[in-house]
Copies of this chain bind each other. A is one copy, B any other.
Amino acid sequence: MAASSSSALFLTAAAQNLLCIKLAEGLGVEVPNRWITWFKASSLPAVGSLLVTPVIVYKLFPPTLKHTPDAPVMAKEKLDHMGPIKREEWLMMGTMLITVALWISGEHINVSSVVAALLGLSLLLLSGVLEWDDCLSEKSAWDTLVWFGVLVGMAGQLTTLGVVPWLSDLVAHMLKSLSVNKLGAFAILQLAYFFIHYLFASQTAHVGALYSAFLGMHLAAKIPGLLSVLVLGYNTNLFGALMHYSSGQAAVYYGGGFVKLPAVIRLGIIMAIVNLVIWGLIGAFWWKILGLY
């Protein structure tokens, strides 16, 4: 549940975030200073949500084991057994720091995020922390590469061929004819985008299928572009705990077998509403201050 907000906090915390930004570019909405802009707008609602979520889940679904004095002892033993931090681990940490620093400051020193990522990979390969063979064996990375390539290409073509603008205008007109104002349209579109995720087994697939269309509807309804791009992006992370199949991490936690399906469904919908309320209220306030609308 907490991972929903933590992956919304940083642009680089989830693959789908970068896909959102990429698709937004295709519709002509550029996000200046990406990493910082994303983080600034997400910071307050995400921190609010991260503080509240554990408390609520603790009440709703109390752990059966509340007193664990052995845990720190066991952890200490394991750490002693592992010994001091190894050379490779220091190098990994250093590379990660450099890469993230470049992602954050890249725009000012003219280093694109791709260059920063490739620099990090090259450092790991040169220092021997990673072998090229490790990279080739990383099947899920190749999967994501092809998956993203196809999705971005298809989304681009759907926009170029006029499908996305047509659908967006249609929905925007419909909302207008029902005399829904901008705030109403924003709420309806965000809620629809959110709950359609019951039909998706991957956040990336959801973004690929619907992000461009929904962003188009926001723009057609005259909702500010940058606000729409970011909030749809945050929204994409928040629905990750809706069901046990809703995201990669949800599948892993459910796969652990400790939480049964009825509890998943119940917690998923309750926390979804809690998150929407927190992000909606804090966001409305914070995004106004930041001048996003």
Chain A residues engaging chain B, CB cutoff 8 angstroms? 132-133, 136-137, 139, 142-143
Contacts and interface: CB of A to CB of B under 8 A. Distances in A.
A143 to B, nearest CB: 6
A133 B136 CA distance: 14
Most buried by B among A133, A136, A143: A136
A136 B139 contact: yes
A139 B136 CA distance: 6
A143 B135 CA distance: 9
Nearest to A147: B132
7 contacts: A132-B143, A133-B139, A136-B139, A136-B142, A136-B143, A137-B139, A142-B142
A140 B15 CA distance: 25
Nearest to A138: B142
7 nearest interchain CB pairs? A136-B139, A142-B142, A136-B142, A136-B143, A137-B139, A132-B143, A133-B139
A245 to B, nearest CB: 18
Contacts of A132: 143
Contacts of A136: 139, 142-143
A143 B132 CA distance: 9
Nearest to A133: B139
A133 B132 CA distance: 20
A133 B146 CA distance: 12
Contacts of A139: 133, 136-137
Contacts of A142: 136, 142
A53 to B, nearest CB: 34
Contacts of A137: 139
Nearest to A132: B143
